[in-house]
Chains A and B, each alone.
Chain A
């Protein structure tokens, strides 16, 4: 084990919270059962780290094995960085049948064909997601394990989740992904956030959507009842309609956790103060940013409580329907148009 590998191990152990150390190391299959049991997790972290280093020396482990530990940790803690999403376009026939083995080989082959110094680690997670850790180097330097790129992909789906990718490596990674997944091209879908599962649920439609049905089922427990029965009755009907509408747009139950949505407005002034502004041809430029611990929940609340007027504007419903949270709004064509996003 060389110094850089030791340094990397120390760094990774430092990053893993103490309470997760046990479970993470357990998943790392490079220590024997006896060796694992010899570690005392009540000790301070630096001491555990020292013991671990000697065990690694014993087993003759290398940087390759250490990066696997980081990959395991990252899978356990997917909210550590910002993720953004790309979509693969025009699947070929083979895309439907490709499996992990083929993908792993093909991806490594293509990426290494494009750049010589690169370290790739691929692991399949329990939920069938393929996790890829890439440490980049260039023609003269060894791969930098301190700033790896993470890629998450579910085979047979068109979505790829990326974290820690810099502009320089983007074309290389894109090309390798397109080739390995048997697609024609790849594009940015303008969706980003910290919560990987939320991005996935939103795009793969794994959250509870509400559709109009003939016999609407009760949506959820309503807020405490008002005292006057007639007022209550009147209000309840309105509230129910609003809630049904909000649920049809944003979904029901726990909604995917997106933190922000950003709109660049390049539209003409539409507000009340028309005067000379109404006649103005040039756009009224501005940027609107929504942020909350869960913007979909917040926007749904605005709609169901009446703070937002009905019906919900396509600008907001596009977050869920198009699965994106960055938009440029212009006046082209009738109504408000948006820059093209993923279809269907």
Chain B
């Protein structure tokens, strides 16, 4: 398809110096049958975004060279509730200051409309939009970070305003063909993470919706993506010690049974390595290998407990680097691997997005 234009070019050129093109990322293969069986959704939007069946093994790199460490610190440690966002219309990275003011005003007005008691406790919301430069690559738009500060009414003079909510919109290693195919004036930042009061999240979403004509929707992380995360995390164990690989399933018994299996990092990696060695390609991971890895863990479990974990569903994956829950909650505990997790989630968000 002929690219209709590049909405993000302007923004990116103004905010970041051009970087080398993708050094790692996805090589894609069309899936056909598997696609439909995996997602069972209308094939319409899948023509735009394809499902990845193999990925490069991420080499954990020191992001500090490219991204301001303070910016990285903003993303690390917090638990984020994810949503997908449809492309933003007429969003400009140059206007962040003005957006800050607009959002603050919007929140105050909405709060006044709503419960009067709350406004008594928290006057003056301050909003700060920041562009986290350096995370994006290729066709991606730069990640935008939002913080909402609030100062109690009776605060003493010296008391600093506290961050009561933070969130971000991101696009890491988004499908280049898809990004190019967007009409001009659209910026695609499909992944939205929020941490803070639900009511504030709702306000921020509604402001974005009104201002940039976009829509938000819940982003669940399906079990295939969780399996990918488990495998990618395990694969990088020799470089960064993941300490443990913990998988959690829920079995639909009555009452429901939660099963968690925590495997020693070294042993998990050896299992992974034994599967990879047979695979041939050392720097690429195929979906089949991911499946075999998880089956390998499930079958070891079965040999001990004779319970079919496949009867239930995988709901959570965690290592010392971070965790991801099926309900769309993630935690990134270390900047190593941050980019690969975000790129995987970007892909999930793009797939989920109704275009």
* A contacting B, Cβ–Cβ less than 8 Å: yes
Q: Could you list which residues of chain A lie within 8 angstroms of chain B, going by C-beta atoms?
A: 263, 265, 267, 269-273, 275-277, 280, 282-295, 297-299, 301-302, 305, 307-313, 315-316, 329, 336
Would you mind naming 6 contact pairs between A and B with Cβ atoms under 8 Å apart? A269-B267, A271-B302, A271-B303, A299-B257, A308-B306, A315-B305
Chain A residue numbers with a CB within 8 Å of B251 are 298, 302, 307
In the complex, what distance in Å separates the CA atom of A269 from the CA atom of B271?
A: 9
- The reply on B155 being an interface residue by CB < 8 A is no
- The reply on B301 being an interface residue by CB < 8 A is yes
Please encode chain B, from 97 to 129, with 1 for each CB lying within 8 Å of some chain A CB and 0 for all others: 000000000000000000000000000000000
- The reply on B263 being an interface residue by CB < 8 A is yes
Q: A276-B277, A285-B263, A286-B267 are in contact. Are A270 and B255 (CB under 8 A)?
A: no
Q: Could you list which residues of chain B lie within 8 angstroms of chain A, going by C-beta atoms?
A: 251-264, 267, 270-271, 273-275, 277-278, 292-293, 295-308, 311-312
Among residues of A, the one whose C-beta sits closest to the C-beta of B246 is A287
Identify 12 new A-B residue pairs, CB closer than 8 A, beyond the known A277-B296, A292-B255: A273-B295, A275-B274, A284-B263, A285-B264, A287-B262, A289-B258, A292-B257, A294-B255, A297-B255, A301-B254, A307-B251, A313-B306
In the complex, what distance in Å separates the CA atom of A204 from the CA atom of B260?
A: 29
In the complex, what distance in Å separates the CA atom of A288 from the CA atom of B277?
A: 27
In the complex, what distance in Å separates the CA atom of A96 from the CA atom of B113?
A: 75
Establish whether residues B299 and A273, one from each chain, have CB atoms under 8 Å apart when the complex forms: yes
Among residues of A, the one whose C-beta sits closest to the C-beta of B262 is A287
In the complex, what distance in Å separates the CA atom of A242 from the CA atom of B252?
A: 17
Establish whether residues A273 and B263, one from each chain, have CB atoms under 8 Å apart when the complex forms: no
Would you give the shortest CB distance from A219 to chain B, in whole angstroms?
A: 16
Main secondary structure of the interface of B (DSSP, over half): helix
Establish whether residues A288 and B296, one from each chain, have CB atoms under 8 Å apart when the complex forms: no
Chain B residue numbers with a CB within 8 Å of A291 are 257-258, 260
In the complex, what distance in Å separates the CA atom of A24 from the CA atom of B308?
A: 47
Establish whether residues B305 and A286, one from each chain, have CB atoms under 8 Å apart when the complex forms: no
Would you give the shortest CB distance from A218 to chain B, in whole angstroms?
A: 20
Establish whether residues A288 and B274, one from each chain, have CB atoms under 8 Å apart when the complex forms: no
Establish whether residues A290 and B267, one from each chain, have CB atoms under 8 Å apart when the complex forms: no
In the complex, what distance in Å separates the CA atom of A288 from the CA atom of B261?
A: 5
In the complex, what distance in Å separates the CA atom of A276 from the CA atom of B253?
A: 35
Among residues of A, the one whose C-beta sits closest to the C-beta of B295 is A272
Establish whether residues A301 and B260, one from each chain, have CB atoms under 8 Å apart when the complex forms: no
Among residues of B, the one whose C-beta sits closest to the C-beta of A287 is B262
Would you give the shortest CB distance from A312 to chain B, in whole angstroms?
A: 7
Chain A residue numbers with a CB within 8 Å of B304 are 263, 265, 267, 270, 288, 313, 315, 329, 336
Establish whether residues B303 and A293, one from each chain, have CB atoms under 8 Å apart when the complex forms: no
Chain A residue numbers with a CB within 8 Å of B259 are 288-290
Chain A residue numbers with a CB within 8 Å of B299 are 270-273
Contact of A284 among B267, B277, B298 (CB under 8 A): B267
Chain B residue numbers with a CB within 8 Å of A336 are 304
Q: A308-B308, A309-B306 are in contact. Are A286 and B271 (CB under 8 A)?
A: no
Among residues of A, the one whose C-beta sits closest to the C-beta of B275 is A273
Q: A284-B263, A286-B263, A308-B305 are in contact. Are A271 and B300 (CB under 8 A)?
A: yes
Would you give the shortest CB distance from B96 to chain A, in whole angstroms?
A: 45
In the complex, what distance in Å separates the CA atom of A288 from the CA atom of B271?
A: 17
Chain B residue numbers with a CB within 8 Å of A313 are 304-306
Q: A271-B296, A280-B270, A284-B300 are in contact. Are A307 and B253 (CB under 8 A)?
A: yes
Residue with the greatest number of chain B CB neighbours at <10 A, chosen from A265, A294, A316: A265
Contact of A290 among B258, B273, B302, B306 (CB under 8 A): B258
Q: Which 9 A-B pairs have the closest CB atoms?
A: A271-B300, A273-B296, A271-B299, A270-B303, A298-B257, A285-B264, A301-B253, A272-B299, A307-B311
Among residues of A, the one whose C-beta sits closest to the C-beta of B307 is A308
Would you give the shortest CB distance from A38 to chain B, in whole angstroms?
A: 40
Chain A residue numbers with a CB within 8 Å of B267 are 269, 282-286
Chain A residue numbers with a CB within 8 Å of B264 are 284-286
